[in-house]
Structure 1
Amino acid sequence: MRRVAVAGAIVAAVSVLLACSPPEEPVAEVTVSGKPGERPIATYVTPLTVTEPSSWAVWPGTGERLADDGPVLLDYWIENATDASLVRESYSTGPAPRLLTAEELGADLYATLHGQRVGARLVQLSPADAEGGTPYPTVTVLDVLPTRADGEKVPPRKGLPKVRRSDSGEPSIKGSKADPPTELVAQPLVRGSGRQVAEGDTITVQYTGFSWKTGEPFDSTWSVGLPVSFSLDEVPAWSEGLVDQTIGSQVMLVVPPTYRLGVTDSQELKGQTVVFVVDILDSRAPDPDQEPTP
């Protein structure tokens, strides 16, 4: 499967545009509305004068606390504060995965996210930064998204490998000497409460692929630590198995060798049944008016 991660240039632009400080009290000149998971609406009088960086939480997160050196998944909306024009956003494309380090994010963005929890919506006001290539102040809204499945555990189906998760969420399985299923199996292990995945969606996931026989992993996002995004249309087995599953779920896909698996096709796996354990972190229909991310 082709991994379509959010382009480094876009994420770098976010770091440049976000000159910020740890969350403070809200600035009265800016209000933000909108429901979780939806594009935010920032309301303020233009041109907005921003002389010092500031940031605050529209609402706090209630999920896991972000861990240093761990993954963070962000949706962002950035406006030019002089005229409220849109500079850049991720809601029509897909969230941006990064590692929570000062080296990766820059000192200011790291300070804003440090100590926050999944589910938080944050606002940042940043003054113009001529040296950084942003000759205007910005208003930015950030949504902190989950980086692992979270929901109601589902009793495992008899005959399928048992999945164990480490403290970080990384799955592992044991190999099986039993004959594998001859048809595709999609078994939820954790049922999330988000919307259902639809055909043609771009999904953002953490996953590991295993050999049914040995239980050895052959492909994993957990080894890098960052989720990936791609179109379901690119992987027929995943499209068939994940459509109608809900965001937040962890799903086991048992894939017979009759299915094409993109880059995971290899001589070592030829003729083998493979097992994917997939954490569905996000899923959204592609915006027909949005140019593809480079």
Structure 2
Amino acid sequence: MRRALAVLAAVPLMFFAAACGSDDGTGAAPATATASGAAASGLKVTGNVGAKPTVAFPAGSPATKSSYEVIQPGSGDGIKAGDRVIVNLTVWNWDGKGNAVQGSSYDTKAPETIPVNEQLPQVLQEGFTKVKHGGRLLAVLASDIEAQPQATSAEPTKVFVFDVVGTQPPALKVATGKETGESIKGVKVDNPGGEKAPTLTTKTDEKPSKELVVKTVIQGTGAKVQPNQMVTVHYTGKIWGSDQQFDSSWERGEPAEFPLNQVIQGWQQGLAGVPVGSRVVMSIPPEMGYGAQEQQGIPANSTLVFVVDVLGAY
């Protein structure tokens, strides 16, 4: 499920791809439907918001036109374009045969976060802005979405039920908190203050540690990063001893965003448990980085040094 949502940012059609299986859900009393936009092709959603729903499918062929329907409007804060909406979601393949459920965050017990932006299919961009926190949205994503240039193959019609849990606070622009005075011997981090990038210096005759070393430069006060979360960070990376820079999100002018469990081991272990808002400096030995494999701008068997601002996690 998380893999499907992670690639959604780059390839909206891949939102269709179910990445986990589950059993059919069980429902309670039917929810009151409030139609908004195109009707959802005769689908009937049952169950209470906050529990895994059930969908009854009409007879005949699957819908070929995407649509959404507000099942419960919710009574909390509204959702607007640009928000990161936190949802429990359940997805089905609508094939006119088994209409099998493909996955549900109610089974994994891990709500998902979806950016409401132009990279979402239009039907979801509009649908999410019609529900509030505590609401439920039904969406059909059909073949008419495949006109997008990113589409590479036909996918079956998908049915989603989204229960809105809330919205993710916007990512920070820079680390915020108290400087700790911590450092790694041989490495220097200068903190200019404001929203300016820190300066990392790794020119040293000191020998790097053979172990992962993580030091907190600025202590943030946000929630701790979890190993399976998406993270938003600003960073600069250099080679130990040479001060050779090989990457910097600061120089690109925008933070990076990625699933923490899909990057090098040094990042996975080094950032897990770090509070949002922190600035850390990490020394990563070769076996937790790129090992004996040369990368673009990174010699084989290099010890990597990063200064990282943890701006958000969801």
Q: TM-score, normalised by structure 2?
A: 0.52
Note the alpha carbon deviations across 1:67-125, whole angstroms, 9 max, x for none: 3xxx8466532247999952344675994665712xx22322111335989xx455222
Equivalent residue letter for 2:117: L
- Alpha-carbon distance in structure 2 between the residues aligned to 1:30 and 1:165: 51
Pick closer, same or farther for the CA change 1:98–1:157 going to 2, 3 Å: same
Give the structure 2 partner of residue 206 of structure 1.
Answer: 232
Change (3 A) 1:94 1:191: same
Distance 2:143 2:308 in 1: 47
Sequence identity, in percent? 9
Seen in structure 2, the aligned counterparts of structure 1 residues 176 and 107 have a Cα distance that, compared at 3 Å, is same
Q: Distance in 2 between matches of 1:29 and 1:245?
A: 40
Q: Following TM superposition, by how much is the alpha carbon of 1:205 offset from its aligned partner in structure 2, in angstroms?
A: 0.9
| RMSD between superposed Cα atoms in Å | 5.6
Aligned to 1:288: none
Residue of structure 1 in register with 2:221 after alignment = 191
For residue 245 of structure 1, the aligned residue among 274, 290, 307 is 274
1:60 and 2:71 aligned: no
Contact 2:283/2:304 (<8 A) preserved: yes
Aligned to 1:231: 261
Aligned mates of 2:113, 2:100 — CA distance in 1:
21
| Residue among 122, 126, 129 paired with 1:111 | 126
Cα separation, partners in 2 of 1:240 and 1:29, compared to 1, 3 Å? closer
Other-structure match for 1:156: 179
CA contact (8 A) 1:97 1:226 kept: no
State the Cα distance separating 1:61 from its structure 2 match: 4.7
Which residue number in structure 2 is paired with residue 77 of structure 1? 90
Deviation at 1:229, TM superposition (A): 0.9
Q: Secondary structure of 2:270's match?
A: helix
Contact 1:190 1:251 in 2 (8 A): yes
Q: Is residue 174 of structure 1 aligned with residue 199 of structure 2?
A: yes
Secondary structure in structure 2 of the residue aligned to 1:125:
strand
Matched, 1:275 2:307: yes
Call closer, same or farther: CA 1:97–1:164 in 2, change over 3 Å: farther
Structure of greater Rg: 2
CA distance in 2, matches of 1:176, 1:66: 40
Query: How many correspondences in the alignment?
Result: 248
In 2: Cα distance, 1:112 partner to 1:237 partner:
39
Q: List gaps (5 residues or longer) in structure 2.
A: 19-34, 39-43, 146-154, 184-188
1:245 is paired with a residue of what secondary structure?
coil
